[in-house]
Structure 1
């Protein structure tokens, strides 16, 4: 009853919801939000392609690996030891993992880094197996 009375004070009910979430709207992002690698992915020419935005990195600072059908990109930008008046550059480790589509051939992987964009492609030529029928036992 008290919540109903409070909401009736506003001419627009959604305004009270907006004000209640106001502190969260201006909260600082968490570290995981700051250091997430932004990606796009698509299928092209029988290959799964994932592009990751990693500006200002050196290829030596980037690691790409596949484990159990999951493609992971890890990178780390180290901070130079200089006195700064102002910096908006993100430093530290960042990573992103995506599940590979069915039929991905983990032995057919290519990676290229150009102009701040990492492009990883995985062949989709793995043999597709037919459905396997499983015998159902009847328990007594």
Structure 2
């Protein structure tokens, strides 16, 4: 089971939203989708314009962390007319529940989308339980009174 705690990083998110580091182009969040397909979860995170070498994914103590860096364009000789693309450090953390195969998490970065595939552990996958039964035979002895 994968658990997402939307309030787990409220303080850090509030700090980043309210901080003023001298630029209006600092990152605010990393948009993502989280869904389950058959026997695995998928996290699709939007990271357009990110250098794939700056992406770091780690699992530590039940927390999946995704971080990435987008380098800001030099302001030298530039007169900005609009500046809506964030630059700097992006980070998301998800709490992994029990039943996740942490050793086989994989990731692919394609067309600005990072897809992290989080498989369920074998023991957590749904399985069918066979029911055995015994057939009564005609030679069963009747109890006489």
* Range into which the TM-score falls when normalised by the shorter chain: 0.5 to 0.7
Identify which of 49, 74, 79 aligns with 2:72: 79
Q: Taking CA–CA contacts closer than 8 Å with sequence separation of 6 or more, which of the two structures ends up with the larger relative contact order? A: 2
Does structure 1 residue 118 correspond to structure 2 residue 114?
A: yes
Q: TM-score, normalised by structure 2?
A: 0.61
Indicate whether 1:69 and 2:59 are aligned: no
Q: CA RMSD in A?
A: 2.1
Count of residue correspondences: 100
Task: Give 1:14-33 correspondences, 5 Å limit.
Answer: 29-31=17-19
Consecutive unaligned residues in structure 1, runs of 5 or more: 1-28, 129-140
The runs of at least 4 aligned residues of structure 1 exceeding 6 Å deviation read none
Q: Which has the higher helix share?
A: 1
TM-score by length of 1: 0.63
